[in-house]
């Protein structure tokens, strides 16, 4: 048995592709899947059933590239549906699963499966989305990719919700609800709050220095 108890020469891996909406995560996932298929490896693709924006049983990119996928309602359903012969498991919109997805992908990788995931690293408030922080921590490889800021054309790392009054973290939508933005044009908390936080921190660090 090799590392992680896998067969000699067969070692699984965990890959994460993350970034804001429109950054090309799904395109990249599909690119990796196509290459594995060219190498004649058995691939299974999953997506959370909640994401039915374009299609129930396909993963579809904003540039209309698509590939068939199995919708699942939970992380453990992925484990139940993966065949023994599957070499590569791809999961799109992985941020919609709960924390148990980390255990599931670890189990698959230990069995020698290459797991490729694509998901939003941050929600519309710029905070880690669902299980993404854990997945980024356990991944063997992480690619953080950028979109283009719709305001200034700079690389965009944030997903901006056009109507901030909609406060639920999960609100499935498209260009009707979201835009890719750079940090300067994604003012999640409002200018006043930013300034307040800055002065509180400044005063804190001043009083700490005085106490030294």
The per-type count for the chain, helices as H runs and strands as E runs, is 5, 12
180 binds ligand ADP, rule: CB under 6 A: yes
Residues 6+ apart with CB under 8 A from 28: 17, 118, 143, 145
Task: Report yes or no: 124 and 156 within 8 Å, Cβ to Cβ.
Answer: no
Q: Coil, helix or strand for 44?
A: strand
Task: Report yes or no: 85 and 44 within 8 Å, Cβ to Cβ.
Answer: no
Instruction: Give 27 or 106: the residue with its C-beta nearer to Mg ion.
Output: 27
Least distance (Å) from ligand ADP to the CB of residue 192?
A: 28
Contact set for ligand ADP, span 40-69 (CB under 6 A) = 61-63
Instruction: Give 12 or 130: the residue with its C-beta nearer to Mg ion.
Output: 130
108 binds, among ligand ADP, Mg ion, none (CB under 5 to 8 A by kind): none
| Tokens (6 digits) for 170 | 């999960």
User: How many residues bind to ligand ADP according to rule CB under 6 A?
Assistant: 15
Among residues 16, 18, 22, 26, the one that binds Mg ion under rule CB under 5 A: 26
147 binds, among ligand ADP, Mg ion, none (CB under 5 to 8 A by kind): ligand ADP
Residues 6+ apart with CB under 8 A from 104: 75, 76, 78, 79
Task: Report yes or no: 57 and 70 within 8 Å, Cβ to Cβ.
Answer: yes
Contact set for ligand ADP, span 120-159 (CB under 6 A) = 147-148, 150
Mind telling me the catalytic residues?
Answer: 93
Q: Point out which residues bind ligand ADP (CB under 6 A).
A: 19, 21-27, 61-63, 147-148, 150, 180
């Amino acid at each position: 048995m090799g590392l992680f108890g896998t067969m000699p020469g067969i070692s699984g891996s965990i890959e994460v592709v993350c970034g804001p909406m429109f950054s090309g995560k799904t395109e990249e996932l599909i690119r990796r899947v196509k290459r594995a298929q060219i190498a004649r490896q058995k691939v299974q693709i999953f997506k959370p059933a909640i994401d039915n924006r374009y299609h129930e049983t396909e993963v579809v990119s904003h540039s209309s590239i698509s590939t068939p996928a199995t919708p699942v309602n939970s992380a453990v359903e992925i484990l139940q549906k993966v065949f023994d012969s599957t070499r590569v498991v791809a999961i799109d919109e992985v941020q919609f699963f709960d924390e148990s997805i980390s255990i599931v992908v670890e189990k698959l990788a230990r069995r020698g499966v290459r797991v490729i995931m694509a998901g939003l690293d941050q929600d519309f408030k710029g905070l880690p989305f669902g299980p993404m922080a854990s997945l980024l921590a356990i991944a063997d490889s992480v690619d953080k990719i950028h979109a283009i800021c719709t305001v200034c054309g700079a690389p965009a790392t944030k997903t901006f919700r056009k109507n901030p009054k909609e406060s639920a973290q999960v609100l499935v939508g498209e260009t009707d609800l979201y835009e890719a933005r750079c940090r300067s044009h994604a003012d999640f908390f409002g200018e006043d709050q930013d300034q307040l936080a800055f002065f509180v921190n400044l005063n804190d660090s001043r009083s700490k220095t005085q106490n030294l």
